[in-house]
Amino acid sequence: MVFDAHSDLLYDVTRRRLLGERRVLEHHHLDRLRRGGVEGLVLAVWASGPRETFWKDTAWKDPASNLGRTHQIFACARADLAECPQIRPVHTAAEAEAARAAGQIYAFLAVEGMAAIGGNPAGVDWYYGQGARLGMLTWNETNALAAGAGGDLQAGLTEAGRRAVRRMGELGMVVDVSHLNDGGFWDVMDLAAGPVIASHSNCRALCDVRRNLSDDQLRRIRDTGGVVGLNAFHGFVHAEPRQQTARTLALHAVHMAEVMGVEHVGCGFDFCEFMGPGNEGAEGLESAAHIRNLFYWLEKLGMNRQELEMVARGNFLRVLAGPDLPPQ
């Protein structure tokens, strides 16, 4: 069974529900999750600008307001999860284990970019109150807290961003550095109170793009006790299209294990085939239904049963079992 530390399914849920559909997870995604052996996942709340191509046809009630869009995504998430008893929203590792024992898929909520709160770090408390237990300061944009991977590579966190990271630590909210630029990454490492994760990032040594991590960054995440999630998006797997395969992603896992230890490698597949052409996963990892192909190649490349289980679920669940705070 597999834990996917980064899923963009709430994008599809929100777009479809705002157009009048219901039971989106159950009707469009549950079967693929089951076929891929997904026991749990992190559902990301992502509300980047309305002019982003991804969101261009979305029926927002207030498209100009990032905060308004974020409210709508949380509302759509709550409504759709309420209509899908096969998936249980959870806040703690203990709740996740209870859901798994009951035969349900468990789902944590995360924030993918905190532009909605402007420069007010108290907004972290609002996200926490909405149920989010993991968070990224940015998507690819630059906001009042930090610069994303699409911005100035060396810019550090703003003072508001520093306060936000400290507040996340006080709440027991896991800090996620996927999408953060390099300067912000190192600032987070100086501030973080617990394990830091990169939920969906690969290795620059194998695919040199900003969204991937250098070996020094991998080692620093290791030093916090954190985990890096393998990302199936084709453009982060290899520069050459013919090498954008499940096997190549498995090679990223092998490299991570060599650099920081297999106990710091996990899965954060970032499947987004439902966003349209250009958003495909690597060959053999076209959707959640194909996850088992990665583990076929990991075994072929020499990982034993214990190591496969650690990568599949154990490592990320260890981090999430940290300070098991009660739900709010």
Domain contains 328: no
- Tell me, yes or no, whether 40 lies in a domain: yes
pTM of the model: 0.96
Q: What digits encode the pLDDT tens for the residues 4-51?
A: 999 999 999 999 999 999 999 999 999 999 999 999 999 999 987 655
* CATH number of residue 15's parent domain: 3.20.20.140
Which candidate, 245, 224, 223, places its Cα nearest to that of 233? 245
Q: Is residue 325 part of a domain?
A: no
The helix (run of H) or strand (run of E) holding residue 28 is: none
Domain count across the chain: 1
Angular region, 200: left φ>0, alpha ψ -120 to 50, beta rest: beta
Domain assignment of residue 35, given as a range: 2-320
Question: What element of type H or E holds 290?
Answer: none
CA-CA distances (angstroms) from residue 128 to 29, 77, 156, 268, 300? 26, 15, 24, 21, 41
CA proximity to 62, closest of 23, 18, 22, 20: 18
Q: What is the pLDDT of residues 123-181, one digit of tens each?
A: 999 999 999 999 999 999 999 999 999 999 999 999 999 999 999 999 999 999 999 99
Rounded Cα distance, 323 and 130, in Å = 19
For the cut 50, the answer to whether the pLDDT of residue 326 exceeds it is no
Q: Is residue 29 part of a domain?
A: yes
Q: For residue 326, is it within any domain?
A: no
CA 47 to CA 113: how far, in whole Å?
7
SS3 213: strand
Average pLDDT, the chain: 94
Residue 270 lies in a domain: yes
